[in-house]
Chains A and B, each alone.
Chain A
Amino acid sequence: MYRYDEFDARLVSERVEQFARQIERRLKGELSEDEFKPLRLMNGLYLQLHAYMLRVAIPYGTLSSSQLHMLAHVARRYDKGYGHFTTRQNIQYHWPRLIDVPEILRDLASVQMHSLQTSGNCIRNVTADQFAGAAADEIEDPRILAEIVRQWSSLHPEFSFLPRKFKIAVSGTPEDRAAVRFHDIGIEIIRSDHGETGYRVFVGGGMGRTPYLGLCIADFVAREDILAYLEAILRVYNMEGRRDNIFKARIKILVNALGLDNMRARVWREFEEIKKEGSLNLPEQERARIAAYFAPPEFEPLPDTCLEFETACSGDGDFAAWSRHNLSPHRAPGYAIVTVSLKPVGGVPGDCSADQMDGLVQLMDEFGIAEIRVTHEQNLVLPHVRKKDLPALHDQLERLGLASPNSGLASDIICCPGLDYCDLANARSIPIAQDLSRRFSDLDRQEEIGELKIKMSGCINACGHHHAGHIGILGVDKKGVEFYQLQLGGSGAEDATIAEIIGPAFSKDEIVDAVERVITAYLRLRQPGERFLDCYRRLGLEPFKNVAYLEQLHAAY
């Protein structure tokens, strides 16, 4: 993985000391809260309901074991013994004290981590496919470009005060695990008919109160041109994006106001100007230097079939169930990709205790796994695991409470912190996710339902990606009381769509039953092999809507 050079290390440590001085001045009263707030936000420090919240960047979701160990240390020493992995592949601590933040940031810097650009109107942490470097169908490791974009965008003077925040995601496979079309810029690595690797660029995607799918602004951008092209998009946005209305300030609004052709023409003009200057070419030599950091580990020459593994899979025990759902094909024979679910039945999606983190560190050391990934679905991934190690690894995950066999199933729910923590939230989201996870805890039932993405947010900002849920739930506030809107038919994958709202919101006592009625209707209506999403697309909203409101209809008559 990428290692800081002297410039990175100096930049981070100087920034930590600068922020430490700013905190000191705030505590002494030399800075007012109005002056301090933008400074703390630029360092990922929010003030929420019960305490401050520190959001730590995990670039493209990749962590070394020593970094994960440090995250555990921070959770244990400065917080309340746990952290929360987010839909942007970051980690949030929900209880740090302001007076401890300088020490936390110094500790993080010692393992090349920071909280820069995890908040504010700048280019945020770049996200990428969690299977990077391991997926069987990958064209190129997306982290190479993600790291190049990280370096280009870090403290970029022109783009430090954009109209609004800006999120970029990169996928290196035709299968989209990074939700690229829901980002301000989504980049898909592709190969041209001539065998040349380049980038398809989508612009103007996003969730929030006005969800849009990103539109394809460039079918193919050559490798050496990508930074110039990204700079051109950002420049048009920075100049023309609205600053008068926070709700209309994201690039998605600009793209849809201008129209795609107009936006493309403006970006092209800027791109040509930048190219003329010639300063933003990405030399192949530099790309290759970065790429070397992401070279895959040396895989042992192994047969793809492994007797020990196959035998364990053929049983009907916990391992067999886990292997059915939490393993994905690896490009190297004899290896598998492991998804470590952070969605135990009744648990808090994305939460991980310090002891679990350290348990994972030990397990990584024992099985020779150098990296762990954070997914935007709030799980973790061990990217390169020998199949022969899987039974033993599963035993250890079980001991850590991290062996839920539910990846991609009904209880693998994305959920934002909601009103239990968040200052912006209108309703609690975690208790509903917990209730759903318990309602669908039976694995046979989940397997009968098949792939189902339930995503839940506690407010319109959509941190829980409800617009992209096969079933999306949005918490709303009606006169101080929590209600929940049900949305159906969304997808964050390569078949991206925005979920449709089915009608009036449900009370917190009704929403889980409504979801269950929708799922039961799907089981009745589906054709062989049809996922919930496929069935919904074939039949439309009506049959599901009718059944969701069934109880109210009965009550009305």
Chain B
Amino acid sequence: MAKLVEIITANRLRDGAVVYWNQDGWTGTLADAEQFSDKDACAAALTKAQERVKAGEVVNPYRFEARLDHTIAVPVKERELIRASGPSIHPELGKQADPSTAPRFRIAAPAKPPRPKQAEGPEAFDVSL
């Protein structure tokens, strides 16, 4: 079973962009985020991150779970997968559009819906990123 880690995230105050905690500051790339396997260490870092709210850097820091695929953290919840990438319907927008911020994973494409024989039209839509 893949190892679970925790990551701290927030939105940057001035533009709302998604950021992740790394050591003593923020990064826009999930791949560069600090991965916490110790809950107490994560709680301590979250306290530090919350100080940055007062400093006007970020809004609403919180922690979320990710599975480690080798060294790559893949968020457990769909919401965090989408925050780390950008809208799944617009691969040209958000972090996924920029190689420097794109996550190193892809949201799994659902199986293509089986097409009944009588149906006409183009191929079923693939929602992969």
Contact = CB atoms under 8 A, between A and B. Distances in A.
Nearest to A100: B15
B121 A439 contact: yes
Contact of A439 (B13, B88, B119): B119
A442 B121 CA distance: 6
B83 A99 contact: no
B125 A431 contact: yes
A51 B87 contact: no
A246 B112 CA distance: 39
A431 B87 CA distance: 10
Contacts of B82: 49, 419-420, 428
Interface stretch (A27-35, A464-472, A491-499): A27-35
A248 to B, nearest CB: 26
Given A420-B88, A421-B87, A516-B119, A50 B16 contact: yes
Interface stretch (A285-293, A332-340, A360-368, A507-515): A507-515
Interface in A466-485: 477, 480-482
B99 interface: no
B89 A434 contact: yes
Interface stretch (B30-38, B40-48, B54-62): B54-62
Given A419-B82, A445-B120, A33 B11 contact: no
A131 B60 CA distance: 43
Interface string A46-79: 0111111000000000000000000000000000
Nearest to A482: B78
Given A33-B53, A420-B89, A435 B124 contact: yes
Contact of B89 (A32, A98, A430, A520): A430
Nearest to B55: A29
Which residue, A47, A48, A99, A439, has most C-beta atoms of chain B within 10 A? Answer: A439
A431 B83 contact: no
A29 B127 contact: no
Contacts of A419: 78-79, 82
Contact of A33 (B60, B110, B124): B60
Contacts of A445: 119-121
Contact of B122 (A33, A431, A441): A441
Nearest to B111: A509
Instruction: Categorize the interface residue count of chain A.
Output: 35 or more
Contact of B59 (A29, A33, A420): A33
A512 B77 contact: no
Contacts of A434: 89, 125, 127
Contacts of A21: none
Contacts of B55: 29
A348 B125 contact: no
A516 B116 contact: yes
Label chain B's interface by main secondary structure: loop
Contacts of B119: 439, 445, 516
Given A438-B125, A445-B120, A513-B114, A29 B83 contact: no
Contacts of B89: 348, 420, 428, 430-431, 434
A346 interface: yes
B86 A435 contact: no
B78 A431 contact: no
Contact of A428 (B53, B86, B88, B123): B88
A309 interface: no
A513 B56 contact: no
Contacts of B18: 49-50
Which residue, A95, A345, A420, A445, has most C-beta atoms of chain B within 10 A? Answer: A420
Interface in B94-114: 94, 110-111, 113-114
Nearest to A436: B125
B56 A431 contact: no
A442 B120 contact: yes
B14 interface: yes
B54 A32 contact: yes
A27 B114 contact: no
Contacts of B111: 509
B72 to A, nearest CB: 18
A28 B18 CA distance: 20
B127 A50 contact: no
Interface string A414-425: 000001110000
A440 interface: yes
A513 B113 contact: yes
A481 B16 contact: no
Pick the 3 closest A-B CB pairs, nearest first: A97-B15, A51-B16, A420-B87
21 contacts: A29-B56, A47-B16, A49-B83, A97-B16, A98-B13, A420-B89, A428-B89, A431-B88, A431-B125, A431-B127, A434-B125, A435-B125, A435-B127, A438-B123, A444-B120, A480-B78, A509-B110, A509-B111, A510-B113, A513-B116, A516-B119
Given A438-B125, A477-B78, 17 more contacts: A26-B56, A47-B11, A47-B60, A49-B18, A49-B79, A50-B83, A97-B16, A420-B88, A420-B89, A428-B127, A431-B88, A431-B89, A434-B127, A438-B122, A441-B122, A480-B78, A516-B116
Interface of A: 26-29, 32-33, 47-52, 80, 95, 97-99, 345-346, 348, 419-421, 427-428, 430-431, 434-435, 438-442, 444-445, 477, 480-482, 508-510, 512-513, 516, 520
